Structure 1
Amino acid sequence: MQLAGRVAVITGAAGGIGTALARRFAAEGAAGIVLSDLDLEAVTALAGGLPVDALGVRTDVTVEDEVRALVDAALERYGRIDLFCSNAGITSGIGLEDGGDAWQRSWEVNVRAHVYGARAVLPAMLDRGEGYLLQTCSAAGLLTAVGDAPYTVTKHAAVGFAEWLSITYGDRGIRVSALCPQGVDTPMLRDGLAVGHVGAKVTAAAGAVLSPEDVAEAVVAGLADERFLILPHQEVATYLAHKTQDPDRWLGGMRRLAAGLG
């Protein structure tokens, strides 16, 4: 997909990767961009600063009616949605200990929000015979997130859902990409490093920490090629190959890496 003249919706757009995607899509000449987040003030300000027509919408992606309202707002303003980016996500930093509602919240934001987005946007896309879904899944969905069990499990589920979408709708004009970056310089990673979270340390040590703008550049290239896996960190492909070729050796290496940084 070339983004010039296209209409895109981005959830989790108030900062980090979401904001970088919005700015990069605008630079590519998008016809319209709908920016969604819990922080309405931030996405409204971002929309007003873009060089293309844009709209900020407050959306809680864990509430299906609000996701439907987001899609309806985009369709009302632009008449179509070419690209829907399910980008909102959260970490928890817990393992087996009781994290309150952390497991449920991770499931709602990292998985069910993707389901709600697809459920809301697919009917109109299928009627037109074309559309693109971009799911932000994280390299944790292909590998693991040391020190964060809910994030690991839900991001694996997100990749699985993206695969299912591609298999089910790929022959009906729906293209799907799973965005799986590793370390990205966002508040999520910086906060983890500040408190000494072992998962954040492993992420930072496993490869280069990219800027959100680097990730957005990789997304534009990946969408143009219509690749299922968009890997801003190319080393993730190598790690994944090692994992699938010899899981026991890979697991042992991950244990040593975690132990050295714990």
Structure 2
Amino acid sequence: MQWQGARVVVTGAGRGIGRALAERAAAEGAQVLVNDLDPQTAADAAAAVGGTSYAGDVSTTQGAAGLVDAAFEHLGGIDVFFANAGVDLGGGLDASDEDWARSLDVNVMAHVRTARALVPRWLETGAPGRFVVTASAAGLLTMIGAAPYSVTKHAAVAFAEWLSITYADQGVTVHAICPQGVNTAMLQGSGPVQGLLSHDAAIEPADVADAAWAAIEEGSFLILPHPEVAGYYAARAADTDRWLGGMRKLQRKVFGA
């Protein structure tokens, strides 16, 4: 991957992991377009990385298509798209239909709608493209106490897998970032599970960016800023019943019987 002069888009780039990805891309010499819901936050992030801002909700069809159009207008195209925007609204069976719908829109359909607008352009021009989904370790495992988040992050990983299987031979490279605890506002607001998510050490957003760059250079689909996740994922597949028993034990520890 040649970053110097590359045209990079990062969604949810106003803070946290998205901001770190944008900063790393700019430091590597890329042209960066940052997206955030809040216009001022997007503008501040763009100014910090010497890039261009686009404020909008990429979970909607119009917002996703608008971002892709803006990138082609301002950058002349897109080489790398970091689909990073995400939301954790918590909840289990008590989660409202509205929270489920919002989680699905942001954590899954934003990726689908963006890919729908972007991948055909890559295929038409024959130019290679790289699509990087920020999912979560919850998408490989499960996060107790957060049904909408866990389910939609599983779906985000599944969509990234499908995208890779379907379009890799046509020049579209796909990655899925799956961290555990990262020192962001989302972690600080995770309530009783904050300690659990930090069990293997909460890392900084810049550490996630470092892991992403290393995995991209290696050509790895899964980007695991917490290497321990690979072991948990393998244990889940090798003996699912035992893994579920362990997760129930954690559920009791955090929330009680």
TM-score band by shorter chain is: over 0.9
Of 145, 155, 158, the residue aligned with 1:157 is 155
**Normalised by the size of structure 2, how large is the TM-score?**
0.96
- Structure 1 CA distance for aligned equivalents of residues 195 and 202 of structure 2: 11
The residue that corresponds to 2:245 in the other structure is 252
User: Match of 1:85, SS?
Assistant: strand
Deviation at 1:165, TM superposition (A): 0.3
Cα displacement string for residues 215-259 of structure 1 (whole angstroms, at most 9, x for unaligned residues): 011111111122100000000000001100011111111111222
Cα displacement string for residues 34-90 of structure 1 (whole angstroms, at most 9, x for unaligned residues): 10110111121121122x4x1111110121112111111110112110001110000
Q: Pairwise mapping of residues 1-262 of structure 1 onto structure 2 (< 5 A)?
A: 1-30=1-30, 32-50=31-49, 52=50, 54-129=51-126, 130-192=128-190, 197-205=191-199, 207-262=200-255
Asked whether the 8 Å contact 1:37–1:57 carries over to 2, the reply is yes
**Normalised by the size of structure 1, how large is the TM-score?**
0.94
Kindly, what percent of the aligned residue pairs are identical?
A: 49
RMSD, aligned CA: 1.2
- Structure 2 CA distance for aligned equivalents of residues 100 and 119 of structure 1: 25
- Structure 2 CA distance for aligned equivalents of residues 98 and 83 of structure 1: 34
Structure 1, unmatched stretches of 5+, are: none
- Structure 2 CA distance for aligned equivalents of residues 49 and 62 of structure 1: 25
Asked whether the 8 Å contact 1:74–1:80 carries over to 2, the reply is yes
**Equivalenced residues, count:** 254
Deviation at 1:122, TM superposition (A): 0.9
Asked whether the 8 Å contact 2:12–2:35 carries over to 1, the reply is yes
- Structure 1 CA distance for aligned equivalents of residues 46 and 110 of structure 2: 22
Cα displacement string for residues 152-193 of structure 1 (whole angstroms, at most 9, x for unaligned residues): 11000000000000010000000000010111000011122x
Deviation at 1:200, TM superposition (A): 2.9
